[in-house]
Structures are given as structure tokens and as C-alpha cells.
Amino acid sequence: RRAADTLARVLPRLAAHDAAATDALAGHVAASVARLPLLDTLAAGLPGADVLALQLHCCARVTEGIPDDATGARLKSRLQARGALGAVTHYLLDVAFAGMGTRSAAGGYDKSGGAWSDACARPALPPALATLQGLVKS
């Protein structure tokens, strides 16, 4: 996993200066994060689950490695145009935390219930949050 982390952090910088590479990287990340819900349905330890978990982990590292400059802004723009941000927010709002129910009197959600714990235990939640962080940081 360490080699994958290193490569994933270097890829955004390598792709940033080539429009075709930027678009290809954005397309790969967007297609991968669209599979976040699938990770939750695969049984842990199965070969498919391990491969998908590593793929989503690497995509999160790619977004976290986006440089904070004009080339990084261009890559983020392509990621958004390719649907990466929409896929992550769809997973978080419509899949992982969809069953949160009604708001409490204080205005927040009841985090003491089983639905909250179940959502926080989903295998795809860590890569989804890490990807979102990489996409929105400036």
C-alpha cells in the first residue's frame, strides 16, 4: 500500500501539465468513486473487496495530492465535470447517511442510534471522506 500511496500522490502533478492526462486521470477517479456503494456490499476479505478498497484508497490519495495551484484547479475542475464530487456526495448523503431519520429538537441528528453507528462503520466511508477532503481543500 505504501508504493500505491506514493504513486497516487505523484500522479496529479505528473498529469497536471497535459490536458489528455488530466482528463484521463479525472475520468478514472470519477469512475472509481462511483463504485463507493459497491464496497459496502462486498464481504470483507473477498478478493474483489480488497482490490476495490485499494482502488478507492488510491483515488482518495490522488485527490489529496492535487497541488494548490492553477494546474490543481484545472484537475479539480475536470474531476467535478466528470462527476467525482457528485459521486462522493451521492454516496455520503443518499447511501451512507440516508437512514438518519428526522432532526432532533436541537436541530442536529440523533447520533446515539444504531443507524448512525451503522453508517460510520461502512467500509467505503473512510475513502469517501478522504476523497471529499481532497476535492474541496484549497
Over the stretch 42-53, which tens digit does the pLDDT of each residue have? 987 787 899 999
Backbone angles phi, psi at 109, to 5 degrees: -100, 150
pLDDT band at 113 (very low <50, low <70, confident <90, very high): confident
pLDDT band at 128 (very low <50, low <70, confident <90, very high): very high
CA distance 25 to 6: 16
Is residue 112's pLDDT more than 90?
no
Residue (of 99, 77, 89) closest to 36 by Cα position? 89
Over the stretch 61-93, which tens digit does the pLDDT of each residue have? 999 999 888 989 999 999 999 999 999 999 999
pLDDT band at 4 (very low <50, low <70, confident <90, very high): confident
HSE-CB for 136 with a 13 A CA cutoff: 10
